[in-house]
Amino acid sequence: SAAKKVTVVGSGNWGCAIAKIIAKNCARHDEFQNEVTMWMFEEQVEHRGIKRKLSEVFNESKENVKYLPGKVLPDNIRAEPDLKKAAEGADIYVWVLPHQFVPRTVSSMGPVKEGAMSVSLIKGGLELEGGKMGLCSDVLRKLLKHNVSVLMGANVANEVADEQFCEATLGTDAPEKDQNLLVKLFDCATFRVRAVSDIAGVELCGALKNVVALGAGFCDGLQFGSNTKAAIIRIGLEEMTTFIRHFHPSVKDSTFLESCGVADLITTCFGGRNRKCAEAFVKAGGKGWVDIEKELLGGQKLQGTLTAQEIWPIIEAHKLTSRLPLFTTIYQIAFEGKDPKSIVSLSPAIEDAN
Ligand code: NAD
Ligand code: 13P
């Protein structure tokens, strides 16, 4: 069958890093068209003292000077600022936007080709829909009316862009030939992909670990050491399990041991942006999240704070606060002025949970 056209929807820090892998794979595998289109949300940047369009600078230099500076991407990636043009005629869409921009973006992209499919790399976007947990991939599935897989893992973007070895988990229910195609699109010697059938488990791990990372960052802000952080990671994993099992009893235990589970939780709690901003939140005492995000991330987006706000009404509605004392405390520290030190006084509720 004809070579597949791949469009990456999003070109931030992770969007650009994964586009590098995708473009190399498209160049070496006959199953894909060589050129990869990357939709770039257009903005003006100051480049070498001149105001320029981000996409123009990218197409000249193959460097996203704002979101992944210093890394040159392969020649066969073309940035397209017009969403409709970028999306037109694609066979495979790779979604990699901060989750708050997803509904608006999908609804303005125009019709998609019959038989196309998507894979979402987006960590976040949870809401209650008629008593059931709605995922970001559900939103994409509903709007696009085609098969949607997810790819999550311990993948801090800058390290992936440097081609340091890591792994990722593809959650998919696509037909076997499409699963193999998706693995081929992402897998390489330094980015090992394993497919599992547990889409909800994979995606929920990716979203919830960002909330735990806020807790890890609070600990760093309080200057606690690695024992304390390890405890937060362990409790966090336990609460991720409790939360996910509550809404998706069919989640597989093995999912938590994949890259999307324990490995992503660990890397995010040590090397992620959520951790970094949460540390600053404690150290700067009283500064708001919007300012911290702006000052520390230079346009990149925090997902854990939004996810904490998304899951809070869900936790309350399902009366899960006593079973999720860490998630509850992280929300209260982040948004209700609770003392950050309370992150280490969870014990009674944790005993109740067992
Ligand atoms: P990012 O944090 O770098 O976000 C900035 C991106 O958002 C830019 O491309 C910007 O152009 C775009 N943007 C800004 N305003 C917009 C608008 N109104 N509409 C559409 N786009 C807009 O993005 P990222 O790091 O690529 O993250 C995307 C997803 O990937 C997130 O869900 C994140 O959790 C996940 N992820 C990130 C990493 C990482 O290390 N950065 C790793 C794995 C997964
Ligand atoms: P942050 O968004 O906290 O940087 O996490 C990145 C990530 O998802 C690593 O896998």
pLDDT in tens, the chain (354 residues): 799 999 999 999 999 999 999 999 999 999 999 999 999 999 999 999 999 999 999 999 999 999 999 999 999 999 999 999 999 999 999 999 999 999 999 999 999 999 999 999 999 999 998 888 899 999 999 999 999 999 999 999 999 999 999 999 999 999 999 999 999 999 999 999 999 999 999 999 999 999 999 999 999 999 999 999 999 999 999 999 999 999 999 999 999 999 999 999 999 999 999 999 999 999 998 899 999 999 999 999 999 999 999 999 999 999 999 999 999 999 999 999 999 999 999 855 444 444
Q: Is the CB of 156 under 6 A from ligand 2?
A: yes
Report the C-alpha gap between 295 and 278 in whole angstroms. Answer: 13
Ligand 2 atom nearest 275 alpha carbon: 3
Ligand 1 atom nearest 264 alpha carbon: 43
Q: How far is the CA of 30 from the centre of ligand 1 (A)?
A: 29
| 38 bridge partner residues | 8, 79
Q: Is the CB of 264 under 6 A from ligand 2?
A: yes
Q: Is 141 helix (H, G, I), strand (E, B) or coil?
A: helix
Q: Where are the beta strands (DSSP E) in 48-178?
A: 50-53, 77-80, 92-95, 117-120, 127-129, 132-134, 147-152, 166-171
Q: Is the CB of 213 under 6 A from ligand 2?
A: yes
And the tokens for 39?
């939709």
24, 66, 209, 229: which one is catalytic? 209
C-alpha distances (whole Å) from 111 to each of 13, 83, 188 are: 27, 11, 32
Q: How far is the CA of 299 from the centre of ligand 1 (A)?
A: 9
The reported pTM is: 0.97
Q: How far is the CA of 157 from the centre of ligand 2 (A)?
A: 8
Active-site residue, 209 included: yes
Q: How far is the CA of 13 from the centre of ligand 2 (A)?
A: 10
Q: Is the CB of 276 under 6 A from ligand 1?
A: no
Is residue 238 left, alpha or beta, with left meaning phi > 0 and alpha meaning psi from -120 to 50?
alpha
Q: What are phi and psi of 101, to 5 degrees?
A: -95, 0
CB 168 within 8 A of CB 96: no
